[in-house]
Amino acid sequence: MSSVETNPAARTVASTQSEMTEIILPNDANVLGNLLGGRLMHFIDLTAGMAAYRHSRTYVVTAAMDHIDFIRPVHVGSLLTLKSSVNRAFTSSMEVGVKVWAENPLTGVQVHVASAYLVFVAIDKEGRRLKVPELLPETPNEHRRYADALLRREHREAEGARRKQERQAHSVPNIAKA
């Protein structure tokens, strides 16, 4: 995919911070009355996308969603709060972190239920990659996430290369061409 140059100004992590709150209804739940994993992933993707939009101010697509731990079930009636921000910007991609809490609306008690890292790629209307602005970490936590994001990128690249090799090793010959 070709890349289009832009002249983006650097942005702070704070300028990317995004938040979404949802009330969990029976339509979002499994037969036990707990939030479906796929529905939670959808909310995570949306909240992460908001942070990526705020950083790039372009169209973005989800390139990857890392391993997610569903730490605790979320019951119907809970208030779900998701918070996201960009951890690091690379050339056309951005790593976004999302943290999710469930709140009992009667007691106000909040528990951490999930966390995830996602990668978004900035594109134009024709699907060409765009250069994203540099991200400026300010607080100690932002600096730690910024450094960790590079390690996760290296890990993703190594894993991606390993999976590609595995696919090629097990690929079935294309019978249409035979």
Q: Which residues bind ligand COA (CB under 6 A)?
A: 1, 61-64, 90-93, 119, 121, 129, 156, 160
Whole-angstrom distance, CA of residue 84 vs CA of residue 132:
18
- Which CB sits closer to ligand COA, 96 or 102? 96
Q: How far is the CB of 26 from ligand COA (least distance, A)?
A: 27
- Which CB sits closer to ligand COA, 80 or 120? 120
CA atoms 63, 69, 70, 71: torsion sign: negative
Q: How far is the CB of 156 from ligand COA (least distance, A)?
A: 5
Whole-angstrom distance, CA of residue 155 vs CA of residue 158:
5
Whole-angstrom distance, CA of residue 133 vs CA of residue 89:
7
Q: How far is the CB of 129 from ligand COA (least distance, A)?
A: 6
CA atoms 88, 89, 90, 96: torsion sign: positive
- Which CB sits closer to ligand COA, 95 or 102? 95
CA atoms 27, 80, 113, 62: torsion sign: positive
Q: How far is the CB of 123 from ligand COA (least distance, A)?
A: 6
- Which CB sits closer to ligand COA, 33 or 160? 160
